[in-house]
Amino acid sequence: MKRSIKVFRFKVLNASLVGRKLPVFFMFLIHAFYASASSGINERTRFSSHQVSADSVVLSFDNDLSIPVTVNLSLALDNLEGEYMSDFTVTVPAKRRRYPLARFKKPEPAKPYQCSYTWKIVMGDVSQVPDLDYLYLLPFQKRSSYKVSQGPGGAISHKDIFAYDFAMPVGTPIIAARDGIIAAVKSDSSIGGPFSVYANDANFISIYHTDGTIANYFHLKKDGVVVKEGQEVKRGDLIGYSGSTGFSSGPHLHFEVVRPGPDFENNQSIVFNWDTSGTGSKKTIRGYR
Ligand SMILES: [Zn+2]
| Domain harbouring 238, CATH code | 2.70.70.10
Number of folded domains that form the chain: 2
Verify that 269 and 148 share a domain, yes or no.
Answer: yes
Which of 67, 96, 123 is at the close of a domain? 123
- Nearest residue to 205 via CA among 4, 63, 38: 38
User: Cβ(214)–Cβ(206) under 8 Å?
Assistant: yes
User: Cβ(140)–Cβ(253) under 8 Å?
Assistant: yes
- Whether the per-residue pLDDT at 101 is higher than 80: the answer is yes
State the Cα angle at 209 between 221 and 141, rounded to 5°: 45
Catalytic-labelled residue, pool 31, 219, 252, 254: 252
Verify that 241 and 177 share a domain, yes or no.
Answer: yes
- Whether the per-residue pLDDT at 37 is higher than 90: the answer is no
Please say if 252 is a catalytic residue: yes
Which of 98, 123, 148 is at the close of a domain? 123
Residue 229 identity = E
Q: Is residue 232 included in any domain, yes or no?
A: yes
Verify that 262 and 185 share a domain, yes or no.
Answer: yes
CATH number at residue 53: 2.60.40
- Would you state the pLDDT for residue 212? 93
Q: 121 alpha carbon to ligand 1 midpoint, in Å?
A: 25
Q: 1 alpha carbon to ligand 1 midpoint, in Å?
A: 4
Q: How many CB atoms lie within 10 A of CB 105?
A: 14
The protein residues having their C-beta less than 5 angstroms from ligand 1 (an ion) are: 1, 165, 254
Distance (Å, whole) CA 141 – CA 38:
27
Question: Would you call 20 exposed, middle or buried from its count of C-beta atoms within 10 A (0-12, 13-18, 19+)?
Answer: exposed
Q: 280 alpha carbon to ligand 1 midpoint, in Å?
A: 26
- Would you state the pLDDT for residue 279? 54
Which of 123, 153, 170 is at the close of a domain? 123
Q: 44 alpha carbon to ligand 1 midpoint, in Å?
A: 28
Mean pLDDT, residues 281-285: 44
Q: Is residue 130 included in any domain, yes or no?
A: no
Mean pLDDT, the chain, rounded, equals 82
Q: Is residue 289 included in any domain, yes or no?
A: no
- Would you state the pLDDT for residue 278? 64
Q: 159 alpha carbon to ligand 1 midpoint, in Å?
A: 10
Q: 79 alpha carbon to ligand 1 midpoint, in Å?
A: 50
Q: CB pairs under 8 A, 24+ apart, for 40-47?
A: 40/64, 40/65, 40/184, 41/65, 41/69, 41/121, 41/123, 42/7, 42/9, 45/69, 45/71, 45/121, 47/13, 47/101, 47/119
Distance (Å, whole) CA 119 – CA 136:
34
- Would you state the pLDDT for residue 276? 82
Q: Is residue 59 included in any domain, yes or no?
A: yes
Q: What is the pLDDT of residues 226-280, one digit of tens each?
A: 999 999 999 999 999 999 999 999 999 999 999 887 777 778 899 999 998 865 4
- Whether the per-residue pLDDT at 31 is higher than 50: the answer is no
Q: Is residue 181 included in any domain, yes or no?
A: yes
Q: Which residue has the higher pLDDT, 26 or 158?
A: 158
Q: Which domain range does residue 56 map to?
A: 10-123
Q: What is the pLDDT of residues 6-22, one digit of tens each?
A: 222 222 222 222 222 22
